[in-house]
């Protein structure tokens, strides 16, 4: 019998073990963030008192909610555990107007049956970036006093306030945090974080592809030949072509999906790279 219960801080080692078994990138710091942001909104599935699956949820104020980390131990897949966890998440979010997630092709088939609809495509691009393809510019590093204006810029494009998440990323990886301005106005920014398999670059939000490329170049220059991942939007061919020219290749596709009205005032074409499918 599968037992689903609220995830606790004591479950973080089990969550990390599931990530390693599935070759996912998250670290204990990521799990801790989910539990701090929404202590009652995360679940584990237990079988014989062993954690074999997880799901997390986030609320972006009254704008929309997010489902992530639908993760099942590879040894226990095809037993309905992932579906049970997803149903539990949707039950927790039943009063929300819009629920979103990023789906793999296999997951998409499950979500379609639960009335999720396609919104747009993304690709996880991975590899070691060729330093000769990086644009040599002096983008400014993000400082603590920049976070408020960057958060305001982000809110207009992302569609919700996520200042706490941006500050969490900035604190964890200053070396990947860059901003570009037009005069006194923010024109784009880039953040990143550390992971088990690769360094994660994103979100990358910018008014155009040239700015996105310059900011991402600055972050990648600090990766020091480490493998990286960028979860890239498909809106701009120039952006995707540049990522490919770096030597990055698509590891897996994603489809952003939604359930509900999706009446969100966002600007996805100015989101070149997302924070990650677990965050949106």
What structural domains and CATH numbers belong to the chain?
3-96 (3.40.630.30), 124-273 (3.40.630.90)
- What does the pLDDT look like over 132-168, one tens digit per residue? 999 977 789 999 999 999 999 999 999 999 999 999 9
| DSSP state for residue 207 in the 8-state scheme | S
User: What is the pLDDT of the chain when averaged over all its residues?
Assistant: 96
Q: What is the mean pLDDT of residues 44-57?
A: 96
Q: What is the mean pLDDT of residues 9-20?
A: 98
In angstroms, the CA 203 to CA 54 distance is 24
Q: Are 112 and 265 in contact (CB under 8 A)?
A: no
- What whole-number percentage of the chain has pLDDT above 70? 100
Q: What is the mean pLDDT of residues 161-186?
A: 96
Confidence grade of residue 261 (pLDDT, cut at 50, 70, 90): very high
pLDDT of residue 224: 87
The pair of structure tokens assigned to 39 is 């202590």
């Amino acid at each position: 019998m599968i037992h689903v219960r609220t995830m606790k801080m004591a479950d973080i080692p089990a969550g990390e073990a599931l990530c390693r078994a599935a070759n996912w990138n998250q670290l204990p710091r990521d799990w801790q963030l989910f539990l701090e942001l929404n202590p009652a909104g995360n679940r584990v599935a237990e079988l014989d008192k062993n954690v074999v699956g997880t799901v997390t949820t986030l609320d972006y104020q009254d704008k929309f909610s997010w489902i992530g980390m639908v993760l099942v131990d590879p040894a226990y897949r095809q037993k309905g555990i992932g579906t049970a966890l997803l149903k539990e998440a949707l039950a927790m979010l039943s009063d929300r107007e819009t629920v979103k997630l990023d789906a793999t092709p296999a997951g998409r088939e499950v979500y379609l049956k639960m009335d999720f609809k396609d919104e747009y495509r993304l690709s996880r691009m991975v590899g070691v970036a060729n330093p000769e393809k990086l644009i040599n510019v002096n983008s400014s590093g993000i400082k603590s006093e920049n976070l408020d204006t960057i958060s305001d810029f982000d809110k207009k494009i992302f569609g919700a306030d996520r200042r706490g998440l941006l500050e969490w990323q900035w604190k964890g990886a200053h070396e990947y945090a860059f901003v570009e301005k037009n005069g006194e106005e923010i024109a784009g920014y880039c953040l990143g974080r550390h992971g088990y398999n690769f360094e994660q670059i994103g979100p990358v939000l910018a008014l155009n592809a040239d700015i996105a490329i310059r900011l991402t170049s600055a972050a990648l220059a600090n990766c020091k030949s480490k493998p990286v991942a960028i979860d890239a939007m498909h809106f701009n061919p120039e952006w995707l072509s540049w990522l490919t020219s770096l030597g990055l290749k698509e590891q897996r596709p994603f489809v952003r999906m939604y359930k509900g009205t999706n009446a969100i005032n966002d600007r996805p074409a100015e989101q070149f790279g997302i924070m990650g499918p677990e965050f949106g």
